[in-house]
Amino acid sequence: MANMELTFIAIKLDNVQHGLVGEIIKLLKQKDFYLVAMKFLQASEELLKQDYIDLKDPPFFPGLVKYMNSGPVVAMVWEGQNVVKTGRVMHGETNPADSMPGTIQGDVYIQVGRNIIHGSDSVKSAEKEISLLFKPEELVTYKSCAFDGIYE
Ligand code: IDP
Ligand code: MG
């Protein structure tokens, strides 16, 4: 099926503390994406530096790594048609101030340096991020009993 793909979505510590993990899973599930992997972890500085390598030059990089390393995250892989793009639309803009109500960023956060959700911005970056966080055998792919009602 065209554009069946995987994306990496991580919910940051503050959101975990706000108890919104379940809400975000509910939104993605309601959209009928498949959850194929999930883990709860405190990402090491080394892992974060690799994940955010493209952002190593801006001045906020050390603060970003410190913030992300300061507590746990829930890391997930979701599958579905166009899930990378749709995941980003549901996520909202990088800066919560630019995000529309109805998006996760737009509904629940204020500052760009303290945002709550990370979603891969391309299929290629999703592949990289998934491989950083998950072993291939940790991805559980399956066909939902609702598949034929979701896709034509
Ligand atoms: P994204 O999270 O929308 O994909 P990226 O450009 O990949 O945006 O940035 C990754 C993370 O870096 C953001 O989620 C945010 O926490 C942080 N960040 C990005 N731009 C800024 C900034 O201008 N100031 C402070 N933090 C920033
Ligand atoms: Mg990004």
Q: Which ligand is nearest to the CA of 58?
A: 1
Nearest protein Cα to ligand 1, atom 20: 112
18: pLDDT strictly greater than 80: no
> In sequence order, what are the beta bridge partners of 79?
6, 34
In whole angstroms, what separates CA 11 from the centre of its chain? 6
Distance CA(65)–CA(59), nearest Å, equals: 11
- Any idea which of 10-24, 74-88, 115-129 has the lowest mean pLDDT? 10-24
CB neighbours (10 Å) of residue 82?
15
112 lines ligand 1 (CB under 6 A): yes
Over residues 36-87, the pLDDT tens digits come to: 999 999 999 999 999 999 999 999 999 999 999 998 999 999 999 999 999 9
The segment with the largest mean pLDDT, out of 109-113, 128-132, 139-143, is 128-132
**pLDDT value for 75:** 97
- In percent, the amount of the chain with pLDDT more than 70 equals 99
The whole-number average pLDDT for the span 99-108 is: 93
* 145 band by pLDDT with thresholds 50, 70 and 90: confident
Given CA atoms 128, 130, 134, 135 in this order, what sign does their dihedral have?
A: negative
User: Rounded to whole angstroms, what are the CA distances from 88 to 26, 51, 53, 119?
Assistant: 16, 17, 20, 6
pTM for the structure as a whole:
0.94
* 122 band by pLDDT with thresholds 50, 70 and 90: very high
The whole-number average pLDDT for the span 97-117 is: 91
Q: Is 26 buried (19+), middle (13-18) or exposed (0-12) by CB count in 10 A?
A: exposed
Residue 76 is inside which H or E element, if any? strand 73-81
Neighbours of ion ligand 2 (CB under 5 A): 121
Our answer to whether residue 18 is catalytic in this structure is no
Distance CA(152)–CA(135), nearest Å, equals: 31
